[in-house]
């Protein structure tokens, strides 16, 4: 089973790639925002697992 941290890191990477492929500026911003949110969740999960 995949850990939360690994899932969030993977989703952040997927959303960054989707932002690069996006055609419209609106879609690019949406995917970039999602990537930031997933990266923040990954960092939070990492700090919780280290504690």
Residues 6+ apart with CB under 8 A from 21: none
Taking only the tens place, the pLDDT of each residue in 41-50 is: 999 988 887 7
Q: How far apart are CA 25 and CA 30, in angstroms?
A: 9
Taking only the tens place, the pLDDT of each residue in 25-38 is: 999 999 999 999 99
> pTM of the predicted model, to two decimals?
0.87
Domain spans, the chain:
4-50
């Amino acid at each position: 089973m995949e850990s939360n941290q690994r899932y969030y890191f993977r989703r952040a990477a997927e959303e960054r790639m989707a932002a690069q492929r996006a055609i419209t500026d609106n879609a690019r911003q949406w995917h970039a925002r999602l990537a930031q949110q997933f990266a923040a969740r990954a960092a939070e999960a990492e700090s919780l697992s280290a504690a």
